[in-house]
Amino acid sequence: MLSTLQLFRRSALVVSTVAAALLAWVPRTEARVTKIVIDARVSPAFDGQSFGKAGQYETIAGRAFGELDPNDPHNAIIQDIELATPLLNGKVGYMATFFLVKPIDMSRSSHLMWQDVPNRGGRITISTFDRNNGDIGLSSGWQGDNVGGTAQIFPNTNDYVVVPMARNPDGSPITGPLLGRIYNRSGPDSQPIIVYTNPMPYKPATLDTTQALMVTHTSETNQGVITGVSEVPSTDWAWATCDATRPFPGTPNPTQICMRNGFDPTLLYQIVFMGKDPYVLGIGFAAFRDVASFFRYEAQDDFGTPNPVSTQISWIISRGSSQSGNFIREFLHLGFNQDEAGRKVHDGSWPTIAGRRLFMNVRFATPDQILFLYNAGSEGPVWWRRYPDPVRDLPPAGILDRCRASHTCPKIVETFGATEFWFLHMSPDLVGTSADADIPLNANVRRYYIPSTPHGGGPGDFSVTPLAVPSGPGTAFGPCTFAGNPVPHTQTRNALTVGLRRWVMDGTPMVPSRYPTLASGTLAAPTKAAMGFPTIPGVPPNAPDGLINPVLDYDFGPRLNYTDLSGIIDIQPPVIKQEIPMVVPRVDADGNELGGVPVPLRDAPLGTYVGWNITSAGFFTGRTCSYAAGMIPFARTKAERIANNDPRLSLEERYGTHEGYVAAVRAAAANALAQGFLLQADADALVAQAEAGNVLNP
């Protein structure tokens, strides 16, 4: 396995090689994708299997080389594009990888392309469900920070974009403040600074620790209250690799932190340092736009290489989950659904389990970050339509302002679940920063809330055997307390996929939006009393009080445009100005959420399904367990329930027998099917799973 330093060195070689390739041709004057290279074709793919009317499929992996005019209004919003090097005839070059999944005979396709947004470089292959519909899949690179999952190693099996670094006009390096945090670490070995799960993509401008500041914290709250702050002397740590054979101060290494006395697992270590050589990461938005535009509109590249799907794409829908869904939201907000020729790129967009906008179009951006303390993404409008933000004293704005002005807005489906409320800042999307009124949806937006579900949905098993207790997502976050939450998204998403395809392809309206609101009384403050959450054995008596991860109003300095999430960060860590009020769904007597779409497992429950969990060990003990969700099973019998003083009816009291439970699942599936949130094939499969399950079996 390559070390982090080897990855950095190999990635640097790839960047220099691509830069040389970008300089090796003289393209036409228009800025767009000018060259594609096919690196690998598998035909037929998927072991020769045939899919629906489309027949056999093939896969094509390649690279798209493009250029951007820094002065074009479609690109001018990209932070530091005017400082990008090298310039090609006044243009800025990039390379994006792509992966096409298409019927061999495109005349048999649906002519609908899904452009999937890779999550942290993970290449996406469209599902069997999509292939059976005859759809085309395009996974294309957008994240250019060149580390971890986006490491630029060829031949690649991931998807990324190679973008230039920014330099000062005189050619000198650009520097700026960066924040790193290390926790739940022990022993003498050095540690990297991790951004969620990948290494920090920037190196310090100097290895002189007197030019940085390290402090330790003994505790933190979700609201950003810090206690036990101590400064670590610059002589007690080093930018270096150290271990048992290389004691402090170790071997100099800009990607590792070495401590004189090793790491204390009870402390969080926070480092503020000056980084250098920022990537112009906002180019990733333009690359994603232009690769889609090429496959949709162009017959060939500037060198005669044919577009493999030329004239065969009638519609494109962008689709992204979590980080990738946040990418779509910022992509739309910054106006990138219009290409440089003024054409609409995507007819539909589906950001799922994504409640913020990706904080990428800033100098020294770290797009891998999630919503831990001091991480941004909820600044400015996170709602679709133009709406005021008096709490943060920002002008009225909405995600769709630019595409509405250019008449290039797609049809949008938004899906999310419980964890998005509890950890991933979904509340302002629905009720703004005042949290006192529902924000209406635009006519081109549909919103569906999948209640009582974890981030991305669970496996959906109809089983009384609990899932394993998860660890909090993120490197070394720590273990949780409750079993994993099994309530799925898959079947709901299948039904919505059919609906979105029809809405885009022939205008057939989707089922009406379904989500909790203040007006309906299905949203409330995130407290036990306001939600109506029951007292459950084994759950802290005040839970879920204090478990919400709130939006914090940060001050990153005067050079950040908080509405656009573009600009330059001057203050690290940011100053916390205030906590934004939040709401969450109300619950029924079992603690399961109200106000969402029907889901058979939630509607024939085996326990209480919550969008939060509690950290059981490590620095974050007692706090929300990152964005993991949980389940608290029902008692099996009435006697067991009474013995445990559990107010929730037991499985025996609810369903009587195994056949009674199967009947409840059958009724719940029929209800979801009738309302348009379940397909018949999935309904049949769910009932069969319940029949084969172990609920109330002798």
* DSSP notation for 635-660: PSSHHHHHHTT--SPPHHHHHSSHHH
Q: Is the pLDDT of residue 83 over 70?
A: yes
pLDDT tens, 590-620?
Answer: 999 999 999 999 999 999 999 999 999 999 9
Q: What's the pLDDT at 30? A: 52
User: Does the pLDDT at position 425 exceed 70?
Assistant: yes
**What pLDDT was estimated at residue 88?**
74
Indicate whether 49 pLDDT > 80.
yes
575 to each of 182, 194, 533, 603, how far by Cα in Å?
Answer: 20, 22, 34, 43
Q: Provide the pLDDT for residue 267.
A: 98
pLDDT at position 32, please? 86
- With beta carbons less than 8 A apart as the criterion, state whether 344 and 410 touch: yes
Q: Which region holds residue 686: left if phi is over 0, alpha if psi is between -120 and 50, else beta? A: alpha
Q: What is the pLDDT of the chain when averaged over all its residues? A: 94
The answer to whether 136 touches 109, Cβ cutoff 8 Å, is yes
Q: How far is CA 38 from the centre of its chain?
A: 29
Better-scored residue on pLDDT, 671 or 30: 671
Phi and psi of 408, rounded to 5°? Answer: -125, 20
d(CA 259, CA 231): 13
Q: How far is CA 630 from CA 83, 466, 610, 671, in A?
A: 47, 10, 5, 25
The number of C-alpha atoms within 13 Å of 471 and in the hemisphere containing its C-beta is 10
pLDDT over 90, % of the chain: 94
Q: Give 89's pLDDT tier (boundaries 50, 70, 90).
A: confident
How far is Cα of residue 636 from the mean position of the Cα atoms in its chain? 37
CB 327 within 8 Å of CB 139: no
Q: Give the pLDDT score at 31.
A: 53
Burial degree of 574 (CB within 10 A; 0-12, 13-18, 19+) = buried
Q: Which residues pair with 268 in a beta bridge?
A: 217
215: buried, middle or exposed (CB in 10 Å: 19+, 13-18, 0-12)?
middle
Q: Where are the domains of the chain?
A: 4-165+279-449, 175-276
